[in-house]
Amino acid sequence: MQTRRDEHQAVPSIVGQGPDFAWASAPDVPQELFLRWRRDAINAGLPEAYAATLSTVDADGMPDARVVTVKDISSDCGFKIASGDDSAKGRQLLANPNCALTFYWSPLARAVRVRGAAQRATPAESATDFLARHPRTRANALAARQSSTFSTDAGRDELITQSQAAMEADPGIVSPHWTVWTVVPKSVEFWQGDPNRNHQRLSYMRTATAWDKQRLWP
């Protein structure tokens, strides 16, 4: 009789095939390698190449995670995300900025782990980001607090209709709760998977003046 473990082991855990990873010639700073890998994902036609799992910690010390979009990366390796201050992730980052980002591009058998702390942007930068968002995203943010509860679709739709009308009346209207965060990493790890388990791992650790680059055991 086949067990669940047998069923699990029959499914390949690594099916992607990535480009060769020449770790010896990897750049001295992680943002250059990250941008190169993300460009590989985009060129390969991978959907949602900008998506990452953001992990935070709540007030009780319990971990929390959700998928977000990383819109930009600064020249000093800051990963920019955005959220409402009233959302779970917004409240958690305000209370404890320590967090992590995980990118996974399965068809290329590649992952990137980012660990660090989030820094809050200025209101002006957050407003600029908000106005560049999809109209429905802005309407949702203006209609109600993110992650708040609602009882009926009709009630939700009415709030969205009202916020859309407010946007038409004032194209520059901005949600006061919208905030851009920059995740400033203390470490960035690149993982290139191999079906034979000869995985390649390269870690960058931030020092006072530069990045310390080391290979890690698979």
Q: Which of 50-64, 133-147, 172-186, 204-218 has the lowest mean pLDDT?
A: 133-147
Radius of gyration of the chain (CA): 20
**pLDDT confidence of residue 19:** 80
Return the CATH fold of 16-130+179-216.
Answer: Pnp Oxidase; Chain A (2.30.110)
**pLDDT confidence of residue 16:** 74
Distances (CA, A) of 112 to 3, 65, 208, 211: 33, 16, 22, 16
Residue 213: which pLDDT band, with cuts at 50, 70 and 90?
Answer: very high
HSE value, Cβ hemisphere, 13 Å, CA-based, for 44: 20
Please report where in the chains the tokens 């990452």 appear, as a residue: 52
Residues found in the chain: 218
Q: Closest Cα partner for 91 from 137, 48, 59, 122?
A: 59
* Whether pLDDT at 14 is above 90: no
Q: Note the pLDDT tens digit of each residue in 148-181.
A: 777 788 888 888 899 999 999 999 999 999 999 9
Distance CA 31, CA 78 (A): 8
**pLDDT confidence of residue 68:** 97
* Whether pLDDT at 185 is above 80: yes
More confident residue, 10 or 204: 204
**pLDDT confidence of residue 209:** 92
Report the pLDDT averaged over residues 45-51. 95
Q: Are 21 and 192 in contact (CB under 8 A)?
A: yes
**pLDDT confidence of residue 47:** 93
Residue 144: which pLDDT band, with cuts at 50, 70 and 90?
Answer: confident
Q: Are 97 and 89 in contact (CB under 8 A)?
A: no
What is the helix (H) or strand (E) element at residue 63, kind and residue range? Answer: strand 63-69
HSE value, Cβ hemisphere, 13 Å, CA-based, for 53: 11
The distance in angstroms from the start CA to the end CA of the chain is 33
Angle at 127 between CA 124 and CA 133, to 5 degrees: 145
Model pTM? 0.90
**pLDDT confidence of residue 1:** 63
Count CB neighbours of 68 within 10 A: 18
Q: Are 218 and 202 in contact (CB under 8 A)?
A: no
Q: Note the pLDDT tens digit of each residue in 75-134.
A: 999 999 999 998 999 999 999 999 999 999 999 999 999 999 999 999 999 999 999 999
More confident residue, 14 or 164: 164
Q: Note the pLDDT tens digit of each residue in 52-87.
A: 999 999 999 999 999 999 989 999 999 999 999 989
Residue 191: which pLDDT band, with cuts at 50, 70 and 90?
Answer: very high
**pLDDT confidence of residue 10:** 67
